Chains A and B, each alone.
Chain A
Amino acid sequence: MLERFIQAIFTDDAGAESQAETRERLKGSFAPGATRRMTQLGLVVGAALNKLEPTADDTLVYASTFAESRSLESYLDSFPAASPTLFQTSIHPSGAQQALIGRQRSLGEVFSHSGVDQMPAQSLLTAMLAPAGRVLLCGGEEHGDWLVNYYSAQDRTFGYALALTREPGPAPLGRLALLPTEQPGALKQSQWFDLLHQRRALDGPIALGWRLQLSWS
């Protein structure tokens, strides 16, 4: 069994909010002027991540199925005069890097996941196997425009960030355990976010070979 304890958690369900609305709502979480080039995904993930106060000893595990959908769409539409800013921000793991670069927060290990219904489990496994004393597990999605029609972008915006430790400490907020299982399983990013955002417990298979026990204090 692999186990980590949740010491802090921040979630943001921005839903159908526009990019401008999210920027206005979250600009106080960033230095003045820092949000000018930030994507909606970068804003929701970054605001949550900043609250965890990343340090150089932390490992970061970031997960996003579709990453910077709007930058991708806009970058494609900028051709033939390709936009260097949109090219840059469309590259995974921009959503996590935007806030960290804004605060000049260097880190040792950064793992950047993508995927669909095995991804939450795989990102949890990466977090569980990382040697660092504290792992920051974060991720999210931003709603796209035309990419949504091709199952290539999410239709809602959300972000999450958790601080995980091996030891429970005096007041853990929750516990995550991965156990082997023979049963098949799947858990999409939006389902994983809803579990976290609603502080719901789970005990069941979430991927091929893995069962998740999620409990809250």
Chain B
Amino acid sequence: MTDPLITRLKHLIVDTLHLDGVTPDDIDENAPLIGSGLALDSIDALELVVKIEKEFGIKIGSSEESRQALASVASLADFIRVRAKK
């Protein structure tokens, strides 16, 4: 069964980063988000962080924490779930 948070994150990634020609279904939630098939880089990651902080009301403190949170869509979903509870 599709995780609604993961689906929402995939749409957010495509929209925030203007990924023309990429659909949310094209994104593998367990694949590395940065540096793999989507050709995203650290600036894209930071742009996503700003969007995620605003959308979910959480805070990501440092560039190192950003890298951990955005390892994959799945890890990002887990990160949000943990932070949103606090």
Contact = CB atoms under 8 A, between A and B. Distances in A.
Nearest to B53: A81
Contacts, number: 22
Contacts of A170: none
B19 interface: yes
Contacts of A82: 50
Interface in A77-118: 81-85, 88
Interface in B9-26: 17-20
A84 B43 contact: yes
A36 B43 contact: no
B86 interface: no
Contacts of B50: 81-84
Contact-residue bracket for chain B: 10 to 19
A83 B47 contact: yes
B39 interface: yes
Interface of A: 33, 36-37, 81-85, 88
A-B CB proximity, top 6 nearest: A84-B46, A85-B47, A81-B54, A81-B50, A85-B43, A33-B39
Interface of B: 17-20, 39, 43-44, 46-47, 50, 53-54
Given A36-B20, A82-B50, A85-B46, 12 more contacts: A33-B39, A36-B18, A37-B18, A37-B43, A81-B53, A81-B54, A83-B47, A83-B50, A84-B43, A84-B46, A84-B47, A88-B43
